[in-house]
Structure 1
Amino acid sequence: MSTDWLGSLVSINCGVTLGVYQGAVSCVDHASQTISLRQPYRNGVRCPVPEVTFSAMDIMELKFQDIQNTVKRSSEQGSATEPSFISAGAHGQSNRATNDSAHSSSAPITILRRVPAGSSNSRGAAHATQRRNGLRSAGARGQVRSKDDECFGDGTDEDLDTDFDFEGNLALFDKAAVFSQIDGTSGHSNKVQHQSAQAEQRPQSYRHDQNILEGKPIIYRQITVPLHGGKEYCTDSGLVVPCIPFKLHKRLLEAAEHWGLSVKRRLETIGVCSSQMALSLLGGPNRLNPKNIHQKPIVVLLCGPHSQGAQGVSCGRHLANHEVEVILFLPSFVKMDESVTREVSLYSRTSGVQVASVSELPASPVDLVINCLGSHENPQLREQSWYQSAADWANRNRAPVLSIDPPVSERTVEAKWTLSLGLPLPLAGNESKLYLCDIGIPKLVYQEVGISYHSPFGCKFVIPLHPVQ
């Protein structure tokens, strides 16, 4: 009957260690209880040998692939059961076999159980095999195996009698290739050169703040003046901003007024920009919000009866419109400039307070003092008593001072910040931090007075300036 199964396609499961084999039956030996497969596949991979022989005790499960032919042959013989060669020990536990990698020739191999002769482990292995077979048969009858056998009994004795194939494993190690890499041979150097060439061909990477478009080199000195004031400053981006003398500054304002930038429009621009800077110095949204109405900032404006004083009054009007408590000091016993009168009239429509005496100013420190006492046209004002009293009060109040467009020789009030208009003036001994305000003078107006001008303001109307060392 063994010849009836020759040529049948079968699948033999030999456990996790040996794997699953598929192939055609080439030989069935009842005496030795073995079966041979030709052109076998192990775990889906073609075996390097033409034939493999299995012992019945290594086979855990045997399946026929060509079911129709198998059933036909079995029915002709009057039996539909398994072949007789696997009747004894067909479900034995798989043990690792010797599968030497050196046996890669075409000669067939036999997978059999190897137990050294006279080994003390043979009796224990046989007992373990019988015990496992008994457990499997008991499990087939529906009985539950013990917890120890489930956790530790299955597969613990499989690898105890397996010899490691040192020669086969060493044959897989290519010493020449490894030492050639260590010694840095020509192949290694060629690989390094190839990698360096690829790195050169790879496009350059850029940071998030770098421009990927190629452009002209940056010119940092974009403003040139016919009359230099003797000092130079630079912006945060590195653009150079030179100082100009007051005579050139006056000619610039006259040219701008000729083209429509009147004093009224200029005062409004200066008032908006200076008030915005003052709001930032006071704390911005952290200080001015609906939830902080009990801590409104207090600002004192010290203004004179001239155009510089009118700039301070315009700034105070915008601050009062933003819910800042503004106190305006302006002497009433001196002749007022026409621009000051207009600004005071508009300021009176706000919630701001106006005083004419220094004694009416707060004795306690305030949040900010804005100084607009000095005049470019009339420097003798600083010798008058009201001027000196107001300056002394500002210096004693211990509040930070912001000076808007101070005269060149202004040293009476110690300011922490100074705001210049258009282009800075060479302030004598100025130790305060300098800021520059864009008052809206067009570029061609600068050119009329001989100034080559490119705006250094960027996206802002007030920028800080740093002295050039």
Structure 2
Amino acid sequence: MAADWLGSVVSINCGLTLGIYQGEVSSVNHKSQTISLKQPYHNGVRCPLPEVTFSAIDIKELKFLDIQKTVNKPGTGQGAATESSFTPSARHNQSNRVALPHGTSSNSHSSTAPITILRRAPTGSSNSRGATQATQKKNSVRNGGPMRTRDDECFGGGTDENMDADFDFEGNLALFDKAAVFSKIDGNGGHSNRAQHHNAQGDQKPQSYRHDENILEAKPVIYRQITVPQHGGKDYCTDSGLVVPSVPYELHKRLLAAAERWGLSLERRLETTGVCSSQMALTLLGGPNRLTPKNVHQRPTVVLLCGPHIQGAQGVSCGRHLANHGVEVILFLPNFVKMQESVTNEVHLYSRTGSKQVASVKDLPISPVDLVINCLDCHENPLLSEQSWYQSAADWANQNRAPVLSIDPATGGQHQPVEAKWTLSLGLPLPLAETESRVYLCDIGIPKLVFQEVGISYRSPFGCKFVIPLHTP
């Protein structure tokens, strides 16, 4: 009877671990309880071996997919059937289940029995071992509980599959219903709340957003958030587009006087200006790339040119903070003119840093330095620039070939004796002369209601910084 099934196409289910094999029956051995398939397929993929042999105890279920031929037996009346080529198919619903020889059914063996597959090597193979046998254990029992093999624990089952086998892309793609999936994604299937929500709104398609786009509705940005009663004649804008108007010096002076009445004294302004300007200077000098413990032999040198007025006191405060951060500071301040009390106090504190102070331009370095900070200008006395010590200091700065940072320079159409690369304004910018200098704005800590007291509608443009660049629109 075993020979009656030769040439039939069958599907053999060996469980989850070994999977499903399909192929044409090439031999059935009653004595050894084995069945062999030629040109087999394993889980839909063509096996590299021409023939695979199964033991009856390994088989969970056996189905006939197609009977290729039957053998005529006397008295049976059976004839030969036409042969057809075999391809893996899903015709399981039309197949017949049969019992295995010697009463071994497809579902009668225990799940704990070992599974053994005998694979026949190809004819003429150079492998001297001949047929190979791969044995894999399932659910072995140890100490009363299930134990998995090392491969199962690390990689799962099926580690003996041939990874070089060609994958049937067309057959696998045919199992994927793209139309149904995309219909569900687009919300046309009616199964998701999102689709029901948009269908209720008249089949409105949901709006898509970029990864960097805010999905929350926000009020439109007002870029002119600062308005002044007296305009200085020039507008600036920040990196984010906020408009910062310039103010005349008279309005700026009233603003500082109002801040002093509310407790923002001159000493506090000098300290804030010194901190912010020194932080900007440290950035211009190279920041962490220059000022490191391993770079003490290349300390940057900064020369401060200060006058005997409030602007000079701001420069001395900046020099003190730079010296505290390891910068070699040289302070130029003439001693033959009368100095304000604020300048005297700042110089007394600066002397505690051990940095150098000179009163003559002849004592300044001849070689170029890293940075020159200009604080020579005075808003109250514009004629100061005509004095000889002022002109000598300005000429030295222009000939030193070092970049210049001017802190709170003179306003209006006055000519700038010192050509500055950067200009730092305080609070609100003043109407500076037309130069190629880059304008920066410093936050000196004036509260919002103090601006309102002098008629300025103010909203801080600084954001998370204390010094921001200003651009000409």
Q: Secondary structure at the match of 2:64?
A: strand
Q: Does 1:201 align with 2:179?
A: no
Q: 1:16 maps to which residue?
A: 39
Whether the 8 Å contact between 2:264 and 2:446 is mirrored in structure 1 is yes
Whether the 8 Å contact between 1:275 and 1:315 is mirrored in structure 2 is yes
Question: How far off is 1:42 after superposition?
Answer: 8.5
Q: Distance in 1 between matches of 2:423 and 2:217?
A: 38
Question: How far off is 1:380 after superposition?
Answer: 1.2
Whether the 8 Å contact between 1:21 and 1:42 is mirrored in structure 2 is no
Q: 1:466 maps to which residue?
A: 471
Q: 1:398 maps to which residue?
A: 401
Question: How far off is 1:46 after superposition?
Answer: 3.1
Q: Distance in 1 between matches of 2:369 and 2:103?
A: 107
Question: How far off is 1:306 after superposition?
Answer: 0.3
Q: Which amino acid aligns with 2:296?
A: I
Q: Which residue among 283, 287, 291 is the counterpart of 1:284?
A: 287
Whether the 8 Å contact between 1:370 and 1:402 is mirrored in structure 2 is yes
Q: 1:30 maps to which residue?
A: 73
Structure 2 unaligned spans of 5+: 11-23, 27-37, 47-61, 106-118, 129-185, 190-197
Shift of the 21–274 alpha-carbon distance from structure 1 to 2, 3 Å rule, reads same
Question: How far off is 1:436 after superposition?
Answer: 0.2
Q: Which residue among 375, 397, 402 is the counterpart of 1:372?
A: 375
Q: Which residue among 56, 64, 67 is the counterpart of 2:101?
A: 67
Q: Distance in 2 between matches of 1:273 and 1:206?
A: 38
Q: Secondary structure at the match of 1:349?
A: helix
Q: Which residue among 121, 124, 129 is the counterpart of 1:146?
A: 124
Q: Which residue among 46, 51, 54 is the counterpart of 2:91?
A: 46
Structure 1 unaligned spans of 5+: 52-62, 72-138, 151-191
Q: Distance in 2 between matches of 1:275 and 1:244?
A: 25
Q: 2:241 maps to which residue?
A: 238
- Once the two structures are superposed, residues 426-454 of structure 1 have per-residue CA deviations (whole angstroms, 9 ceiling, x without a partner) of 01223200000000000000000000000
Question: How far off is 1:66 after superposition?
Answer: 3.8
Q: Distance in 1 between matches of 2:390 and 2:438?
A: 23
Shift of the 391–205 alpha-carbon distance from structure 1 to 2, 3 Å rule, reads same
Whether the 8 Å contact between 1:302 and 1:330 is mirrored in structure 2 is yes
Q: Secondary structure at the match of 1:334?
A: coil
Shift of the 43–331 alpha-carbon distance from structure 1 to 2, 3 Å rule, reads closer
Q: Which amino acid aligns with 2:468?
A: I
Question: 1:104-143 to 2 correspondence within 5 Å?
Answer: none
Shift of the 49–299 alpha-carbon distance from structure 1 to 2, 3 Å rule, reads closer
Q: 2:223 maps to which residue?
A: 220
Q: Which amino acid aligns with 1:301?
A: L
Shift of the 428–43 alpha-carbon distance from structure 1 to 2, 3 Å rule, reads closer
- Once the two structures are superposed, residues 63-84 of structure 1 have per-residue CA deviations (whole angstroms, 9 ceiling, x without a partner) of 973434599xxxxxxxxxxxxx
Q: Secondary structure at the match of 1:467?
A: coil
Question: How far off is 1:146 after superposition?
Answer: 3.4
Alpha-carbon RMSD across the aligned residues, in angstroms, is: 4.0
Whether the 8 Å contact between 1:10 and 1:65 is mirrored in structure 2 is no
Q: Distance in 1 between matches of 2:343 and 2:459?
A: 32
Q: Which residue among 253, 260, 278 is the counterpart of 2:263?
A: 260
Q: 2:327 maps to which residue?
A: 324
Q: 1:99 maps to which residue?
A: none
Q: Which amino acid aligns with 1:454?
A: R
Q: Distance in 2 between matches of 1:314 and 1:446?
A: 25
Whether the 8 Å contact between 1:299 and 1:367 is mirrored in structure 2 is yes
Q: Distance in 2 between matches of 1:391 and 1:363?
A: 14
Whether the 8 Å contact between 1:435 and 1:465 is mirrored in structure 2 is yes
Q: Secondary structure at the match of 1:277?
A: helix
- Once the two structures are superposed, residues 21-64 of structure 1 have per-residue CA deviations (whole angstroms, 9 ceiling, x without a partner) of 62899975137996779xxx98674389999xxxxxxxxxxx97
Whether the 8 Å contact between 2:63 and 2:98 is mirrored in structure 1 is no
Q: Which residue among 259, 271, 274 is the counterpart of 2:274?
A: 271
Question: 1:367-446 to 2 correspondence within 5 Å?
Answer: 367-408=370-411, 409-446=414-451
Bigger helix share? 1
Shift of the 30–367 alpha-carbon distance from structure 1 to 2, 3 Å rule, reads same
TM-score (ref. length: structure 2): 0.64
How many equivalent residue pairs?
338
TM-score (ref. length: structure 1): 0.64
Whether the 8 Å contact between 2:63 and 2:95 is mirrored in structure 1 is no
Percent identical: 64
Q: Distance in 1 between matches of 2:333 and 2:88?
A: 100
Shift of the 27–417 alpha-carbon distance from structure 1 to 2, 3 Å rule, reads closer
Whether the 8 Å contact between 1:224 and 1:452 is mirrored in structure 2 is yes
Q: Does 1:251 align with 2:254?
A: yes
Shift of the 69–370 alpha-carbon distance from structure 1 to 2, 3 Å rule, reads closer
Q: Distance in 1 between matches of 2:327 and 2:314?
A: 17
Question: How far off is 1:215 after superposition?
Answer: 1.2
Whether the 8 Å contact between 2:439 and 2:470 is mirrored in structure 1 is yes
Q: Distance in 2 between matches of 1:69 and 1:315?
A: 101
Shift of the 145–398 alpha-carbon distance from structure 1 to 2, 3 Å rule, reads same
Q: Which amino acid aligns with 2:467?
A: V
Q: Which amino acid aligns with 1:46?
A: R
Q: Secondary structure at the match of 1:371?
A: strand
Shift of the 68–370 alpha-carbon distance from structure 1 to 2, 3 Å rule, reads same
Q: Distance in 2 between matches of 1:24 and 1:422?
A: 91
Shift of the 373–410 alpha-carbon distance from structure 1 to 2, 3 Å rule, reads farther
Q: Distance in 1 between matches of 2:95 and 2:385?
A: 115
Q: 2:193 maps to which residue?
A: none
Q: Secondary structure at the match of 1:255?
A: helix
